[in-house]
Structure 1
Amino acid sequence: MSEAQDFKYIGQRTIRPDGHDKVTGRANYAADLTLPGMIWGKILRSPHAHAVINSIDTSKAEEDPEVFAVMTHADIPNQTASGVQNILAKDKVFYHGHAVAAVAAVTESAAERALGLIEVDYKILKPVMSIDEAISNDSPLLHDDLFTKGMAEDPAVPSNISSRNELSKGDLEVGFAEAEVIVEREFRTATVHQGYIEPHACTVRYDEDGQSMIWCSTQGHFAVRATTASMLGIEQTNLNVIASEIGGGFGGKLPIYLEPVALVLSKKSGRPIKMQMDRNEVFMASGPGSATRNWVKIGAKKDGTITAMKAKLCYEAGWAPGSSPLGPACMTVFTPYDVDHQYVEGYEVVVNKARCAAYRAPGAPQSEYACEMVINELADELGIDPIDLRLKNVAKEGTQTMYGPKLKAVGLVECLEAAKSSEQYKTALKDNQGRGVASGFWFNVGGESSVVINMNEDGTGTIVEGSPDIGGSRASMQMMAAEELQMPVEAFSAIIGDTQNLPYSNPTGGSRTTFATGMAVVEAAADVVSQLKERAAATWNVVPEHVDWKNGAAINTKGEGVLTAAEICGSAAKTGGHISGRGNISARGASPSFAVHLADIEVDPDTGKTTVLRYTAIQDAGKAIHPSYVEGQYQGGSAQGIGWALNEEYVYNEDGRLENPGFLDYRIPLASDLPMIDTIIVEVPNSFHPFGVRGIGETGIIPPLAACGTAVSKAIGIRMSELPMSPPKILKAIHDAS
């Protein structure tokens, strides 16, 4: 489809199916499960950021009468499995909080006490805590065998630079030669946390027959099964993973940390095991978002035509090479602009921090922040309205991206026009107040999704999907099934299937679920319709081609007769058995999403305190299946991006120890910190989806960094170039400029 359609159910604001359970406390999260005979597992973590493990002595813990099992890296069968050293360190610890050993004991407090009985002898090494330190000539090496990938020639010596990326189009030399105004700046962002409220947790049971069960908080239970099975050398058919309700993820619940440890402890102890990180552990040992140092140079003619764009990006990976989102950062940095000459060079470095994990549009917020800040400064230099400058150079249908494809129909023009005509953009500001505008882009992904729709005897249906619901997907799946089957939304329920009762589905992430799993739902619903028509045809003794499906009923086009879904399903046993539709797809055509945000911020020049006065998020949804959920995604992404811009950062001391591992000192926005975030839904349908859907979950976190960065800069009259713009940093900037 390419044009807007009229829908009967899609676009409604239905009651969320998980709402009552969550507000009443009935929803079951991973830590809520209790099994007969269950005991507790806990992990011993390194107090050092960088150290060699000389020895681990677990004998005293093993002698404790309340301890059932003790585990070290040596107990993991597949020592070469991907990510295994992030589960338990082998010869070296690479960050403060790195897991070293684990115990299982009768109670959680007994397990905590037993950790103190494990003796670890360390040789402490100097930590490498920043990009600048990592790339300096005299920096200690984290890995003696790490040679930079992606260089024109293979390096002769190892370094802390793990890889180099490069993308380009056109000829930069030509582009900058045409420029009459050039702006270039460097920007820095700090290590940040995704901010999910529920800690990592799992409950596992290893059975004597080799069958195992894992209940866990995850964005991808099929990935949990594959990774755990690989590390422990077991067949996937012997491991069933059940995705519990999830209390936030944002990419941080894609990796695993506890499940292989818990399963080994369960096997060794013969008991079910529960493990749950406390808040300190979540901050110390789970994957944060990358700290970055990014440089951008943009040239333009005096009429506002941008002639060339160049970037050099540097991203931290944490300790593990290949863990940063450098690739997406390079892909997204300049994509909102239709400019002939573009070039980006990216580097990933390793540092003594936890292995980085995805964080909502991974890599894009940091790189696009640098670009958008320079675009706004360029607009000031040219004396052109920043939205007009963007409209003059806007990416649109037919634009050739630097990373490969040409854009199909997208809604960035419509987003910019909506921003310019918005009430906020027309409102005057007062002293010490500033306004920022920024665009954002995320490419979106498709991937594998599996769905089964089981029809019940009363004509209702149960949708079994393989994508954990972290953003309202159960509601959107119900609505898409209802639209395809032309039956009320209330006729369907949606549940998340286990790994043993559905084919494989990719994790929930990358803004893929409503798009890809939604396509699987449509396919499964179409399968159900086909079967319903066949059963009706058999009842009427006509061919299926003579049966139409309309308003939830089969219609005999060659004679009189109407059979409802309830009537057909009620007699299914007599016409061929239970009706069940299947959708197994590898979705393609995940059209990208663009957004434009406006931020009005006031700064107190005496304290550096920032107040967000007004905020508007505008984004192309393709088609908003459930507008309330879409608005919630826009608002949630905005809130996270505002926090990233104004306050959030990991603080490490000189020894590499994390000093603010908790929400008391790691300052995420509270409800009282933010105004009601206004939203504008733009709908430019994605022609590759039957209902026009494009993913929307990622893009909303991208524009706030530059929108807030520009607003603060204008409020104080000083260009800020480092995030977060916390009160001490703002006061320092004011003091240095005075």
Structure 2
Amino acid sequence: MATILEESGFNPNQKLNIVGTNPVKQDGLDKVTGRAKFGADAFLPGMLFGKILRSPHAHANIKSIDTSAAEALPGVKSVITSADFPSIPQGTGAGDMTRNVMAVEKALYDGHPIAAVSATSEAIAKRAVKLIKVDYEVLPHVIDPLDAMKPDAPILHDYMRTKGDDEAPDVPTNVTEKMVTSIGDVAAGFAAADVIVEHDYDSKPMHQGYIEPQGCIADYSEDGQIELWCCTQAPFVYRDRLTAILKLDSSKINVMQSELGGGFGGKTGFYAEPLAILLSKKAHAPVKMTLTRNEVFRGTGPVSGTNSTIKMGCTKDGRIVAAEANLVFQTGPYTGSMYFNAQNAMFTRYDLENVHVVSREVVSNRPKVNSFRAPCVPQIVFGVEGVVEEMARKIGMDPIDFRLK
């Protein structure tokens, strides 16, 4: 190992400025004294409390929603459904974002928001949500991406066609996109290989597991100015996306970032925030919404689940001569898995002349996926490194030397 470090130019005896020291944590004092304010800590005078009605079905047509009993409950100040959002065509970025935070015509996963309520207390808001009557037509659902690709699979979106696949028939599909990367002659590369290793790898959708559930307060003032306090990793992304789905000028929305109790990429997408804004607009008062842990797992985005077949070949002297992969990424009901990160990164550590990779992104009746620390890459790189490790052992070479060759 010392030889590797020396060859890299690293001097283990050099004096470092940060590594090996104990720097003072900039926000440490505020956190240990309780001064730090997280998403659920914000408070405004006259604040109301918001709650969400979620679908109990993974896939269902919404035939009707009756909110009259909830609106009549004393203490309830506003009730919203998808009808309160601007109409944006589905299949567009803003249209899909709108339909993800509030179901339009169809519930596409268990936990999909159907309606939301604001009231003078959290208890009243919870009671009001239970009074909303929804008539569902339950549909067959699919949660496994490989099952979703089968000819007889339930179709989530009649408009969906596979982007990037000119050979696909012009019929509804659950495959959103296909991406192909091809370099050199893979068949010739495998023909020259002394050892070929091929394996299948599966990974399930995994939540970021941040300790702090999403929380926010929205205040929609009478002059149309919106103040939003929330725990987000991306306040300017929130602002721009909120202006898109609410059809507002960006100067009308001020997003204020609270302390963050973990995010890992999972707080780059919003969930309760648009609902709180529209509830506040209707109620003419600030609205606070804090998700429960159950809601976090049912209604926010994990990282994509994957199915991959990875095949690589090498010569006896440790030279990798070919690599091939077939990748499938589960994205929830709407596109957004960032599968291209894995496609572009999976083989970049190796000097390869013959590569062929095919990726497909597939919708299913699960919550829409979100980022999680290099989204989609670790799941696929794990498989690549497993194949590389086995190739090295099959030719009797040290796995580290094999990788450095």
Q: TM-score range by the shorter chain?
A: over 0.9
CA distance in 2, matches of 1:55, 1:336: 54
Q: Which residue of 2 aligns with 1:141?
A: 155
CA distance in 2, matches of 1:180, 1:94: 48
Q: Which residue of 2 aligns with 1:55?
A: 64
Q: Which residue of 2 aligns with 1:180?
A: 194
- How far has the Cα of 1:212 moved from its partner? 1.5
Q: Which residue of 2 aligns with 1:339?
A: 352
CA distance in 1, matches of 2:247, 2:327: 39
Q: Which residue of 2 aligns with 1:292?
A: 306
CA distance in 2, matches of 1:9, 1:384: 38
In structure 2, the residue corresponding to 1:48 is in which secondary structure? Answer: coil
CA distance in 1, matches of 2:15, 2:63: 66
CA distance in 2, matches of 1:180, 1:278: 55
Alignment of 1:597-612 (within 5 A): none
Given the alignment, which residue of 30, 34, 37 partners 2:39?
Answer: 30
CA distance in 2, matches of 1:223, 1:121: 35
* 1:390 maps onto 2:403 in alignment: yes
Structure 1 gap ranges (5+): 393-738
Alignment of 1:245-644 (within 5 A): 245-320=259-334, 322-392=335-405
Q: 1:271 to 1:158 in 2, by over 3 A?
A: same
Would the aligned equivalents of 1:78 and 1:232 in 2 still touch at CA under 8 Å?
A: no
Q: Which residue of 2 aligns with 1:45?
A: 54
Q: Which residue of 1 aligns with 2:3?
A: none
Q: Deviations over 1:350-395 (max 9, x none)?
A: 1100001111100101111111111111122112111111111xxx
Q: Which amino acid aligns with 2:43?
A: T
Would the aligned equivalents of 1:250 and 1:358 in 2 still touch at CA under 8 Å?
A: yes
Q: Which residue of 1 aligns with 2:136?
A: 122
CA distance in 2, matches of 1:70, 1:370: 48
Q: 1:167 to 1:250 in 2, by over 3 A?
A: same
- How far has the Cα of 1:24 moved from its partner? 2.4
In structure 2, the residue corresponding to 1:222 is in which secondary structure? Answer: helix
CA distance in 2, matches of 1:159, 1:224: 30
Would the aligned equivalents of 1:332 and 1:367 in 2 still touch at CA under 8 Å?
A: no
Alignment of 1:665-680 (within 5 A): none
- Residues 70-79 or 84-93, more deviating: 70-79
Q: Deviations over 1:168-206 (max 9, x none)?
A: 222212211210110111111111101111101101111
CA distance in 2, matches of 1:361, 1:231: 26
CA distance in 2, matches of 1:366, 1:183: 18
Greater RCO (CA < 8 Å, at least 6 residues apart):
2
CA distance in 2, matches of 1:332, 1:9: 32
- How far has the Cα of 1:14 moved from its partner? 2.2
Q: Which amino acid aligns with 2:239?
A: R
Q: Which amino acid aligns with 1:72?
A: T
* 1:66 maps onto 2:75 in alignment: yes
CA distance in 2, matches of 1:147, 1:48: 25
Q: Deviations over 1:76-106 (max 9, x none)?
A: 1243434100111010000000000000011
CA distance in 2, matches of 1:390, 1:124: 52
CA distance in 1, matches of 2:37, 2:17: 29
- How far has the Cα of 1:146 moved from its partner? 1.1
Given the alignment, which residue of 93, 98, 123 partners 1:84?
Answer: 98
In structure 1, the residue corresponding to 2:131 is in which secondary structure? Answer: coil
Q: Which residue of 2 aligns with 1:236?
A: 250
- How far has the Cα of 1:156 moved from its partner? 2.1
- How far has the Cα of 1:340 moved from its partner? 1.4
Q: Which amino acid aligns with 2:403?
A: R
In structure 2, the residue corresponding to 1:213 is in which secondary structure? Answer: strand
Q: Which residue of 1 aligns with 2:5?
A: none
* 1:101 maps onto 2:115 in alignment: yes
Q: Which residue of 2 aligns with 1:664?
A: none
In structure 2, the residue corresponding to 1:116 is in which secondary structure? Answer: helix
Q: Which residue of 2 aligns with 1:194?
A: 208
Q: Which amino acid aligns with 2:394?
A: E
Q: Which residue of 2 aligns with 1:159?
A: 173
CA distance in 2, matches of 1:4, 1:177: 40
TM-score w.r.t. the length of structure 2 is 0.93
CA distance in 1, matches of 2:337, 2:57: 22
- How far has the Cα of 1:8 moved from its partner? 9.5
- How far has the Cα of 1:9 moved from its partner? 6.2
Q: 1:236 to 1:78 in 2, by over 3 A?
A: farther
CA distance in 2, matches of 1:270, 1:306: 65
Q: Which residue of 2 aligns with 1:500?
A: none
Q: Deviations over 1:101-133 (max 9, x none)?
A: 000011111101100000000000111010221
Would the aligned equivalents of 1:78 and 1:233 in 2 still touch at CA under 8 Å?
A: no
- Residues 267-276 or 167-176, more deviating: 167-176
Q: Which amino acid aligns with 2:144?
A: S
**Higher CA-based Rg:** 1
CA distance in 2, matches of 1:69, 1:304: 67
CA distance in 2, matches of 1:34, 1:184: 56
Number of residue-to-residue matches in the alignment? 389
- How far has the Cα of 1:214 moved from its partner? 0.3
Q: Which amino acid aligns with 1:293?
A: N
Q: Which amino acid aligns with 2:160?
A: L
In structure 2, the residue corresponding to 1:101 is in which secondary structure? Answer: strand
Q: Deviations over 1:613-671 (max 9, x none)?
A: xxxxxxxxxxxxxxxxxxxxxxxxxxxxxxxxxxxxxxxxxxxxxxxxxxxxxxxxxxx
CA distance in 2, matches of 1:238, 1:131: 40
- How far has the Cα of 1:75 moved from its partner? 0.3
TM-score w.r.t. the length of structure 1 is 0.51
Q: CA RMSD in A?
A: 1.7
Q: Which amino acid aligns with 1:51?
A: A
Q: Which residue of 2 aligns with 1:663?
A: none
* 1:16 maps onto 2:21 in alignment: no
Q: Which amino acid aligns with 1:39?
A: L
Q: Which amino acid aligns with 1:304?
A: G
Q: Deviations over 1:561-597 (max 9, x none)?
A: xxxxxxxxxxxxxxxxxxxxxxxxxxxxxxxxxxxxx
